[in-house]
């Protein structure tokens, strides 16, 4: 709970739901990553929250940046960061976007197939590439699909091919899955990465870098391990699999960097029941899946919610958003306990909303504005 | 397939994915509804596609409008339509938004509980209200949740309460579920509506209107009944349940009005496999769940896709979007047949994209722009 955010909300005079991000917490998070993994470079995953104030703060703290598009690259360059602090981490890129990134000075690119290597060789000659390897994501709250990465055998062929086309076969990346609470996940992935390093060495190519991706969790309602425990587990796994030849390493925290730094203020629009006999209250907020809380999809993330009636007796409620869309329901399979005294017009605070809220917002579904954002 | 859209796409010189909507098809769709249900007022569901050109066309054709928010109401008024052609059809409204709508001249409001009736009585005195009744949505491709509506017994109490507070208890609404291909669904719902009319008559209150909602399907890959067959089935059901005292009726087509009028042009960004032995191709487009194709969620809607290689041999592909988000996969459980000759850089046409594409777009997830829209 950030007192600075509460103060800001007390003073604000605009109407409607908004997210407020506290830069002090982002700064603390950056320092925690830097301290816990002192030999690892932090590449902030811009997609989690690309607010210019957040990017500028992280630039000033010495962070590097993981970008998904030329649009994100340009946002980062606008902070004054040099292009050598940028990784174009999307494995799916148009050739003309690779060319634009190269013109901007970007020299580090993700790939997971030879087709992408060919594009980079054509328009970003001499660049460093890292190959993303499929990882099974066991233990993650959101295991990833197979969308990104290739199997480790194919990765060695992709890297060798890049080398032959004059690119620098630089390393390997993986992603253990979002909101990953299982510290062992990195051990499994690092073992696989070390295998690719060994195979490449046999082919006469020395890889340099392991990009360990993101997946660092934010605390929602369930407890999660703290950053220091991740740092320890990751360092031990690195030593176990790479011995005394530790590669240079990168992490790409997004949610872990900004998730707990933001809070949404929303308003109770309606509280009703479906029939006279119905015990279940439906509570409708002015925020839902289409203007900020997309990550409640499948009720995957359960945000902590504070109300002005906390302490009163609670009963289970279905919680829903304000649009005329029946999928715009936040918690129904597992109803949310809310005070019986909660009233129409009450303001509620939704915690840990700094990541993946503003940018998931629709442009104006049902005529509602995208989530307003304040960074303080 | 609209030749006008194909011509436009051949001539356009902007880059990136876009949707193009053909107003001639919207006009045809409006006429089909008007002809098939000659005694029913058409209230276009603005949320399906609020492009100003579409609203202006429908205004000139005599359509009325179903609005989900004050934002949508203001878009409609900007066409020159008078406020008596607007229904504020969202059952979830802030009291101050009801007041703003009332100031704009809106006098027709949806409710599904007494709490909402109280708000309307306070700030929109004398208005007409209709109560939404829960409907089970059997047969719909997207059955609705219980988010909107109350049970019929409660509806009578809500309407009576509105009457007592000085509002006009005007009618009943229901929604049979989106993309509803079962003509019987309206029969079931109209029987329920007629029951509410009878009960209200016993209480001395004469209801006037049945709002039959939307749910009219667009043809994607599967065939659906045409509008005339819906018109016939609905008219028969009205006669069966209301006899010679037919109420005035409203329909709220959204998808049925604009779905087949729009086409998206997208580009193949990457085609790859996950391992050397893998038979399955992954095809990545520059459009996905976050910049236009949100309705592929759960693979619910299967869009027809045309490629410049149609006619060549096809094999199944996983189809995915361009973002660094693993949920941004369009068709994976049921892969999509695409030509083996399909190549990186090819343009593809995605049909029946006129509804629920532009407004579901995120404001800029991963730094990609929202879906561009052209109305011709």
Ranking A145-149, A176-180, B236-240, B267-271 by mean pLDDT, the lowest is: A176-180
- Alpha carbon distance B361, B295 (integer Å): 10
Q: Which residues of B touch A323 (CB under 8 A)?
A: 47, 68, 90
Residue of A nearest to B72 (CA): A367
Tokens of A168: 């620098």
Residue B229 confidence (pLDDT): 86
Q: Does A29 touch chain B (CB under 8 A)?
A: no
Minimum-distance CB partner of A367 among B69, B116, B361? B69
Residue A142 confidence (pLDDT): 58
Residue of B nearest to A143 (CA): B326
Active site residues of A: 324
Nearest CA-CA distance, residue A290 and chain B, Å: 7
Residue B207 has pLDDT above 90, yes or no: yes
Could you tell me the pLDDT band of residue B225, with boundaries at 50, 70 and 90?
Answer: confident
- Alpha carbon distance B146, A171 (integer Å): 51
Q: Does A93 touch chain B (CB under 8 A)?
A: yes
Minimum-distance CB partner of B361 among A157, A325, A363? A363
Residue A222 has pLDDT above 80, yes or no: no
Residue B179 confidence (pLDDT): 77
- Alpha carbon distance A88, A101 (integer Å): 8
Per residue in B88-134, pLDDT (tens digit) is 999 999 999 999 999 999 999 999 999 999 999 999 999 999 999 99
Ranking A67-71, B31-35, B76-80 by mean pLDDT, the lowest is: B31-35
Residue B141 confidence (pLDDT): 62
* Mean pLDDT computed over A306-310: 97
CATH code of A260-375, in short, is 2.40.37.10
Residue B82 has pLDDT above 90, yes or no: yes
Work out the mean pLDDT of chain A and round it to a whole number: 94
Domain ranges of chain A: 50-253, 260-375
- B70–A322 C-beta distance less than 8 A: no
Residue A181 confidence (pLDDT): 80
Considering only residues 210 to 269 of chain A, which have any Cβ-Cβ distance to chain B shorter than 8 Å? 267, 269
Q: Which residues of B touch A146 (CB under 8 A)?
A: 274
CATH code of A50-253, in short, is 3.20.20.10
Work out the mean pLDDT of chain B and round it to a whole number: 94
Active site residues of B: 324
Most B CBs within 10 A among A69, A104, A120, A147, hence the mutation to make, goes to A147
- Alpha carbon distance A65, B256 (integer Å): 44
Could you tell me the pLDDT band of residue A13, with boundaries at 50, 70 and 90?
Answer: confident
Q: Does B328 touch chain A (CB under 8 A)?
A: yes
Instruction: Reduce the DSSP state of residue B295 to 3 states and report it.
Output: helix
User: What are the helix (H) ranges across B172-326?
Assistant: 184-202, 227-242, 255-258
Residue B140 has pLDDT above 80, yes or no: no
Report the Cα–Cα distance between both ends of chain A, in Å, rounded: 14
Residue A217 confidence (pLDDT): 82
**Complex confidence, ipTM:** 0.94
- B327–A145 C-beta distance less than 8 A: yes
Q: Does B16 touch chain A (CB under 8 A)?
A: no
- A284–B72 C-beta distance less than 8 A: no
Residue B40 confidence (pLDDT): 95
Residue A353 has pLDDT above 70, yes or no: yes
- Alpha carbon distance A371, A364 (integer Å): 10
* Mean pLDDT computed over A195-212: 97
The set of residues, in sequence order, having a beta carbon less than 8 Å from that of B376 and lying 6+ positions away, is: B4, B5, B8, B20, B21, B22, B23
* Mean pLDDT computed over A6-18: 93
Could you tell me the pLDDT band of residue B157, with boundaries at 50, 70 and 90?
Answer: very high
Element spanning B152, H or E: helix B152-164
Residue B1 has pLDDT above 70, yes or no: no
Residue B219 has pLDDT above 90, yes or no: no
Residue of B nearest to A358 (CA): B363
Considering only residues 133 to 192 of chain A, which have any Cβ-Cβ distance to chain B shorter than 8 Å? 134, 142, 144-151, 153-154, 157
Most B CBs within 10 A among A367, A368, A371, hence the mutation to make, goes to A367
Could you tell me the pLDDT band of residue A144, with boundaries at 50, 70 and 90?
Answer: low
| Strand partners for A86 | A65
- Alpha carbon distance B86, B108 (integer Å): 7
Residue B143 confidence (pLDDT): 60
- Alpha carbon distance B264, B6 (integer Å): 10
* Mean pLDDT computed over A4-31: 95
Per residue in B291-319, pLDDT (tens digit) is 999 988 888 889 999 999 999 999 999 99
For chain A, percent of residues with pLDDT exceeding 90: 82
Residue B215 confidence (pLDDT): 84
Residue of A nearest to B287 (CA): A92
Q: Is the pLDDT higher at B183 or at A315?
A: A315
- B358–A90 C-beta distance less than 8 A: no
Residue of A nearest to B74 (CA): A367
Residue A138 has pLDDT above 70, yes or no: no
CA distances from A297 to A19, A207, A245, A370, B289 (A): 19, 39, 42, 18, 13
Q: Is the pLDDT higher at A85 or at A278?
A: A85
CA distances from A197 to A115, A166, A184, A247 (A): 22, 19, 20, 9
Residue B169 has pLDDT above 70, yes or no: yes
Secondary structure in 3-state letters for chain A: CCHHHHHHHHHCCCCCCEEEECHHHHHHHHHHHHHHCCCEEEEEEHHHCCCHHHHHHHHHHCCEEEECCHHHHHHHHCCCCCHHHEEECCCCCCHHHHHHHHHCCCCEEEECCHHHHHHHHHHCCCCEEEEEECCCCCCEEECCCCCCCECHHHHHHHHHHHHHCCCEEEEEECCCCEEECCCHHHHHHHHHHHHHHHHHHHCCCCCCEEECCCCCCCCCCCCCCCHHHHHHHHHHHHHHHHCCCCCEEEECCCHHHHHHHEEEEEEEEEEECCCCCCCCEEEEECCCCCCCCHHHHHHCCCCCEECCCECECEEEEEEECCCCCCCCEEEEEEEEEEECCCCCCCEEEECCCCCCCCCCCECCHHHCCCCEEEEC
Could you tell me the pLDDT band of residue A137, with boundaries at 50, 70 and 90?
Answer: low
Residue B167 confidence (pLDDT): 98
Q: Does A94 touch chain B (CB under 8 A)?
A: yes
Residue B17 CA to its chain's centroid (Å)? 22
State the burial class of residue B13 (Cβ atoms within 10 Å of its Cβ: 0-12, 13-18, 19+): exposed
Q: Are A79 and A287 in contact (CB under 8 A)?
A: no
Q: Are A163 and A131 in contact (CB under 8 A)?
A: no
């Amino acid at each position: 709970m950030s007192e600075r955010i509460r103060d800001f909300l007390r003073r604000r005079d605009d109407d409607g739901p908004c997210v407020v991000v506290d830069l002090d917490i982002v700064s603390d998070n950056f320092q925690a990553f830097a301290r816990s993994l002192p030999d690892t470079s932090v590449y902030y995953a811009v997609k989690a929250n690309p607010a210019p104030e957040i990017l500028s703060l992280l630039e000033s703290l010495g962070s590097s940046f993981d970008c998904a598009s030329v649009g994100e690259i340009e946002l980062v360059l606008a902070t004054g960061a040099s292009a050598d602090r940028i990784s174009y981490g999307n494995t799916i890129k148009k050739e003309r976007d690779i060319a634009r990134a190269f013109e901007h000075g970007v020299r580090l690119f993700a790939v997971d197939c030879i087709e992408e290597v060919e594009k980079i060789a054509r328009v970003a000659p001499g660049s460093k590439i890292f190959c993303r390897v499929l990882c099974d994501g066991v233990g993650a709250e959101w295991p990833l699909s197979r969308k990104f990465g290739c199997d480790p055998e194919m990765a060695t062929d992709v890297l060798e091919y890049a080398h032959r086309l004059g690119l620098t076969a630089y390393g390997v990346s993986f992603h253990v899955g979002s909101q990953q609470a299982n510290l062992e996940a990195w051990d499994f992935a690092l073992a696989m990465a070390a295998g690719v390093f060994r195979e490449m060495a046999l082919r006469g190519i020395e890889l340099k870098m392991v990009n360990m991706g993101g997946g660092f969790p934010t605390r929602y309602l369930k407890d999660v391990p703290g950053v220091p425990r991740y740092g320890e587990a990751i360092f031990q796994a690195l030593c176990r699999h790479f011995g005394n030849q530790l590669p240079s390493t990168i992490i790409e925290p997004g949610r872990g960097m900004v998730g707990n730094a933001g809070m949404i203020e929303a308003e109770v629009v309606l509280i009703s029941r479906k029939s006279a006999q119905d015990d279940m209250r439906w509570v409708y907020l002015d925020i839902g899946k289409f203007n900020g809380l997309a990550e409640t999809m499948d009720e995957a993330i359960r945000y902590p919610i504070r109300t002005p009636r906390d302490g009163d007796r609670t009963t289970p409620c279905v919680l829903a958003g304000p649009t005329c869309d029946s999928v715009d329901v936040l918690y129904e399979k597992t109803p949310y306990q809310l005070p019986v005294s909660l009233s129409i017009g009450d303001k509620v605070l939704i915690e840990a909303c700094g990541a993946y809220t503003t940018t998931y917002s629709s442009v104006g579904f049902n005529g509602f504005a995208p989530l307003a954002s304040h960074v303080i």
